[in-house]
Amino acid sequence: MTWSYLPAIRRILASLAIPSLMFSPVAFAGQTAQRAETQEHFVAPNPAELAGDTAEEVYAGLMKTMADAYRLSDKVHAKTYQAWERYNSSPYRSATHGQRFVNNYANKTAKAYSRYEAAGQLPVGSALAKDSFTVTNSGGINPGPLFLMEKMAPGFNSESGDWRYTMIMPDGSFYGETNGEGSKQVEFCISCHRAAAKNDHLFFIPKTYRRSF
């Protein structure tokens, strides 16, 4: 795996007055972030604030590396999601995903996602992907987990609204998925998304960051 984006990241960090780049290519191999005691997403340490354009530039430098790592999981959607439509204009901070910067992708079956709160019930086969990264105040650049949602056939899991949640770690290791290996480790996804049951268990991009279609 190559890390050719590092010079660009150093320049970006310098412009933000962050003292030094602390990122290690193997930083997440041992998952250095701390797990929240409330069984929520891994929490990013000391997250830095980034303006939209700067966050987009950081993401552009990370995209290939993140994709190369996620596809090691051998999960089909982890290999293809970056070819889907991206619905946010730039990465944005998600409090419900460990204070990471995230991006929202949806496959063609989930094209109704472009209507956001008016999307209604998405059809079986709809898939959504949310990749993530952090830039920390101490100068760390950390790719984060990939979060996947796939609408399954009726009866798959009534608690999840028939969504299968899958989580891939930033080194490509598989963390867990609903009704499968490691299912208990992603139960917090169901618990969180149940609050949006009236919107087919979907949360939507903050309006400031939504692309128009």
Q: How confident is the model at residue 18 (pLDDT cuts 50, 70, 90)?
A: very low
Considering the domain boundaries, does residue 207 fall inside one? no
Considering the domain boundaries, does residue 48 fall inside one? yes
Considering the domain boundaries, does residue 146 fall inside one? yes
Average pLDDT over residues 136-141: 71
Considering the domain boundaries, does residue 64 fall inside one? yes
Considering the domain boundaries, does residue 23 fall inside one? no
Average pLDDT over residues 3-28: 41
Find how far residue 143's CA is from the centre of its chain: 10
Domain that holds residue 47: 6-18+32-202
What pLDDT sits at residue 139? 64
Relative to beta strand 92-94, strand 127-135 is: unpaired
Q: How confident is the model at residue 60 (pLDDT cuts 50, 70, 90)?
A: very high
Considering the domain boundaries, does residue 26 fall inside one? no
High-pLDDT (> 70) share of the chain, %:
77
Entry field: residues in the chain: 213
Q: How many domains does the chain have?
A: 1
Considering the domain boundaries, does residue 176 fall inside one? yes
6 vs 4: CA distance, rounded Å:
6
61 vs 59: CA distance, rounded Å:
5
Identify whether the C-beta of residue 143 lies closer than 8 Å to the C-beta of residue 62.
yes
Considering the domain boundaries, does residue 58 fall inside one? yes
What pLDDT sits at residue 20? 33
CATH number of 151's domain? 3.50.70
High-pLDDT (> 90) share of the chain, %:
64
Mean pLDDT estimate for the chain: 82
What pLDDT sits at residue 43? 54
What pLDDT sits at residue 140? 72
What pLDDT sits at residue 152? 98
Q: How confident is the model at residue 5 (pLDDT cuts 50, 70, 90)?
A: very low
148 vs 139: CA distance, rounded Å:
28
Using the predicted structure, report yes or no on whether residue 81 has a pLDDT greater than 70.
yes
